[in-house]
Amino acid sequence: MFGWVPNEHLTAEMTLKINNPFYLTALSWQNQEPVLRFQAQQDSSTTLVEAQNLFLRFRVITNHPRRCIGATKRTEEGSSHQECESEPTSGRYCDKCQTVENVNAANMHQAHRRGRAEIDKTMAAYLSHPHRLYLAAFRDGSIKVGTTRGSSGHTRLIEQGAWLAAYVAEVEDGFAVRELEDEITEQLGVTQAVDTRRKILGHLDHLPNQELAQRLSQLSSETENLLRDRLSSRGSLIGEPWSNPMIDTEAWSNLALYPGSIKEGAHELTIHSMVGRLAACHKSGFSDTFLVDTHSLLTLPLETGTFEVDELALQESLF
């Protein structure tokens, strides 16, 4: 039984074969391309499939258990996804995985305040590598400060769905970079998080790229001035610009909100491309390019088949 059915433009290698019911458990990025991770209930097998240009025909199964999306394991070498077969107790996690995520978050974001000796040794090793400090701009005009491990690749920015960004500094480790991150927030009032609703609204009604770039450039200059005397021997300013690979893609120039809730019912659409967790989708019979939050499907039991898909009215809301 096929889970996500490919359209005519896909190769055989991109066809997902998976038994019903199945679950979407994660979205990851490989070489700046989105990859969806599915888990079959029958044998708990995991299947990865490229999201771009993927045709989806699915139905959310009613009165069927949901499934925890698993937890993230971090080591000195990096991070990996750990599958779970339990049912979520609240949100997207079972109690065990929620505890793991809570500990990860506490160790990650409070490490510079607690000190190396007070956090898990594995997390301390993970944070011992060089980190970059960046400013990320989103299409509604929001700008956040953040950090990412390593000095190459842009996975973190792509995961978050940033539209434009500037790598401001490279710092010796994850402890020092978070001290600087907090200082930027305190001194310049730059947030450390932008919620998904703002990202969605930004795609639907966005600032011109030039205006967004000007705002980012101004804040980058202010940030560099703040850090110039604070980095000392701990790091250096780098001033490296970045833009999302989709920035010149026509599909992202005029988007409409998907006219229905994918958390229920039956749907058929094709993912054109993705920015973070948000997908630009086409649907037969509609000229619009629709914006869909793929995370809405996490934990939900799904199936495919020859059933009728829901009729959609453009005035309906995703929320």
Domain assignment of residue 176, given as a range: 128-243
Residue 87 is given by DSSP the state P
In this predicted structure, the answer to whether residue 261 has a pLDDT above a threshold of 80 is yes
pTM of the model: 0.89
In this predicted structure, the answer to whether residue 120 has a pLDDT above a threshold of 60 is yes
Of the two residues 285 and 189, the one the predictor is more confident about is: 189
What is the share, in percent, of the chain residues with pLDDT greater than 90? Answer: 68
pLDDT for position 10: 36
In this predicted structure, the answer to whether residue 132 has a pLDDT above a threshold of 90 is yes
Question: What is the mean pLDDT of the segment spanning 194-202?
Answer: 98
Residue type, 28: S
Domain assignment present for residue 37? The answer is: no
Domain assignment present for residue 224? The answer is: yes
Sheet with 278-282: list strands edge to edge.
46-50, 33-40, 22-30, 302-303, 54-60, 266-275, 278-282, 289-293, 255-257
Of the two residues 128 and 293, the one the predictor is more confident about is: 293
In this predicted structure, the answer to whether residue 146 has a pLDDT above a threshold of 60 is yes
Domain assignment present for residue 297? The answer is: no
Rounded to whole angstroms, the Cα distance separating 149 from 124 reads 13
CA 223 vs CA 33, 128, 212: distances in Å: 30, 24, 16
In this predicted structure, the answer to whether residue 128 has a pLDDT above a threshold of 80 is yes
Q: Of 38-42, 85-89, 146-150, 256-260, which gets the smallest average pLDDT?
A: 38-42
The token pair that represents 24 in the structure block:
């979407």
In this predicted structure, the answer to whether residue 202 has a pLDDT above a threshold of 80 is yes
CA 137 vs CA 44, 109, 187, 239: distances in Å: 38, 21, 19, 15
Residue 17 pLDDT class (50, 70, 90 cuts):
low
Question: What is the mean pLDDT of the segment spanning 259-276?
Answer: 95
pLDDT for position 152: 67
pLDDT for position 317: 43
pLDDT for position 318: 43
Domain assignment present for residue 102? The answer is: no
Query: Cβ–Cβ contacts within 10 Å for residue 16, how many?
Result: 19
pLDDT for position 11: 36
The token pair that represents 184 in the structure block:
């930027």
Q: Is 228 left (phi over 0), alpha (psi -120 to 50) or beta?
A: alpha
pLDDT for position 1: 29
pLDDT for position 44: 74
In this predicted structure, the answer to whether residue 165 has a pLDDT above a threshold of 90 is yes
User: pLDDT (tens digit, 9 = 90+) per residue, 210-228?
Assistant: 999 999 999 999 999 999 9
pLDDT for position 84: 92
Name the domain count of the chain. 1
Domain assignment present for residue 138? The answer is: yes
In this predicted structure, the answer to whether residue 3 has a pLDDT above a threshold of 60 is no
Domain assignment present for residue 47? The answer is: no
Of the two residues 39 and 255, the one the predictor is more confident about is: 255
Domain assignment present for residue 195? The answer is: yes
Q: Round the average pLDDT of the chain to a whole number and report it.
A: 88
Residue 14 is given by DSSP the state G
**Residue 238 CB partners (closer than 8 Å, separation 6+):** 132, 167, 168, 169, 170
In this predicted structure, the answer to whether residue 58 has a pLDDT above a threshold of 70 is yes
In this predicted structure, the answer to whether residue 143 has a pLDDT above a threshold of 50 is yes
User: pLDDT (tens digit, 9 = 90+) per residue, 289-314?
Assistant: 999 999 999 999 999 888 899 988 66
Determine contact, residues 88/68, Cβ cutoff 8 Å. yes
Domain assignment present for residue 117? The answer is: no
